[in-house]
Amino acid sequence: MIEAGRAAHIGAIRNREVPVSERSRQTAAGERRRHLGGFALAGLAGFGIDAGVLSALLGLGLSPGLARVPSFVAAVLTTWAINRTMTFRTSTRASLGEFLRYILAMGLGLAINYATFLLALRLSEAAAAQPVLALVPATAAGMVVNFLSSRHILHR
């Protein structure tokens, strides 16, 4: 019954029986869901890169705070590429200027991410023993800020 109603509503939209403002609102809502889903997938890929690079550098003897810098840079490069091409479907050609704007926009998220990482290392014995665990709250904290800045500043 619900599916039939949904199909009828979709048919009405396609036949332009739904006012333009309603179609626009539905399109915008679908786009927001796609953006959020794509951003989450890019974040997951970035998290994997971040954790892998961090683990490798820790294995080479770097401190967690120092190892986190290149691991985060690798994650940022990964998420930038995924978000611009898949999440926000940016149609313009990639440029150094765009990448620098991305880094600038991600700056607050980077600061929150890194501060949360260091805080988790101090507050959690488990994170201090396994620094990759500190990436979880750090990534979550930075992701919210980064999503909002990406959606509202970079990829409007």
Q: Determine the distance from the C-alpha atom of residue 138 to the mean position of all C-alpha atoms in its chain, rounded to a whole number.
A: 13
Give the domain ranges of the chain.
Answer: 32-154
Residue 38, pLDDT score: 83
pTM over 0.75: no
User: Does 80 score more than 90 pLDDT?
Assistant: no
User: Does 92 score more than 90 pLDDT?
Assistant: no
| Rounded mean pLDDT, 38-64 | 94
Which is more confidently placed, 136 or 99?
Answer: 136
User: Does 62 score more than 70 pLDDT?
Assistant: yes
User: Does 67 score more than 80 pLDDT?
Assistant: yes
User: Does 18 score more than 50 pLDDT?
Assistant: no
